[in-house]
Structure 1
């Protein structure tokens, strides 16, 4: 990969989503970036690999994520030219701005793909993930006209392209023993770090008597289990409907270099059954894993409404739960409100990551605390095979949890 300080081609190829199941490869949509057009603390990157996650599948399948359908691709009309996809990525630094001080050309980095305003109350609190003016890669954002107060929808290009520019502070140099493919895993690992912290699992207050149940063993779920082990949880239970995924998770976490083995945590896997009530599934989990009073913590990473309900049933009184999984529907029925209230459950939403989460993700990766993350990579697709990568992630199956797309040559 060339690192001479300037782009080595005269185009910036990218992948555009135009609506559900409608996409294209363009060499004209994005301009060729010139670093002198940006603030002096920015760096020019050549994208190496891009990860495919559940939100990419939601966009590909439905045109967007969440309940605000005015932001969905298919609702933009004939004038909508496409959204550049991708937000999990690693890259090589090509050029650095004059005020950049920690990176140099040739460095391998993981990138944090959201630029907050840094001045609003949420940013000041360190919760820049909730910044109302966040420009997150491959997503929509609102634009308010200061004179008329009218609101329109804009787009922030994603990382499924060749060249990308970011502030240096959002580029994290990878340790020498972490390659660019593995570097893609830093982003979902930061999500897992954020989730663990939100329920109260952190290395500052290690308590090996605590138990955690994780629902869903996709990339975020399995990394959440690994982070919890690294942060001191004494018992970790993983629940999913897919036996093959559970077997992979048990092998990966329980290997000689796996997070559960390194931390000495007890590891359990439970295969849940479709059609069984959340309350009955919770009783099965508690009986099978020795959780007489219920679990201390739950991280819901599947997005299945039944798993959210099961999590409330499986928690002990006063337990904490964080919802990281994105559901196919923006609302859910049969929510166990009475159980939530009578047990005084602490239920949190989780949105990406906030200050310190990315740096912590790089640190635990550097120290080997979460295990051999390269084994989570299922397959690497060529840039032109992007749609096959989306479909493979949608359909599941195979070894590993993460499909990658190679950046364009």
Structure 2
């Protein structure tokens, strides 16, 4: 089976070769060309099926083409797709109300991508520091964690510790202090009267699903409260059901001042992100100081509202908890049998493979050949983040395939 283009029929190999001269080489994808998808399964142009154990880095928490989300998009496509923020639209208020209620916060700044949400939060935190906290103009600082991943814009890579993301992109934006992740003493030492905010991932995704010690997030909340600065939680990957709670910070009953959402908020259909915050924080923005032509567009608002409706039932959070037990049990059985260790919360795991068996990339390619799609991160670590809709049978099949691949080696 091949897929039709405007001019010819092309195989997977032909399509991959066709990309080479015309696409910037900023990604190194696995050599699979997806043409169709439904639920937790995708199909390439030749008709081969694969179980998606990555779910678009959590953008597909509800699976591919979830019926309720597709219906919401279709319905809105027949009505209105874009006005820009020059005008109001009839979907935006309901979207903002639902997101604020879901997070327990007050106001919403709608954007498109995760990186846009982070950039927006940086601007808001600095403005808040000058207007509310009283930091002298131009001196605001933001404390971040080493091994963070918040995006790849120039400001964000300025406080990355990943040299692949940084090299060749300077000069870098000042105003950031980097401390070790999961180190409250270092965090407290870095906070002073100039600190606008602490920006942190409750679980570090790109670093390999790194889960902090119990009490770290509560301690961070207390440090920021005492210092009179903001706690910004980047829940773009960890939020919206992935860890078994609506937000990962809920595992420690913590309420940040600002929550950043993205990925799954668009249901795998459109890019949707949001800065959600206490009223006094977002009220520092005035007309003309920040914006986005597509942010809060009616199509995005309709899909985002449908995503919130799915989460309001608690079904997907419970599913992540229950299936997460199967995931942890399956990975535990592989420790010492090709798996050196793993970190898991809900349906999200970073799995450290014995380097003697291959790199993370090599293990991912071996799994791909067996019909399982995962993604490597640093060294010999792979990430597992299947759709929350995955069945127990499919999850067990994926774990069995991983065991088989490890037994044979990459």
TM-score, L = length of structure 2: 0.36
Structure 1 or 2: more helix by fraction: 2
Structure with the largest fraction of strand: 1
TM-score by length of 1: 0.36
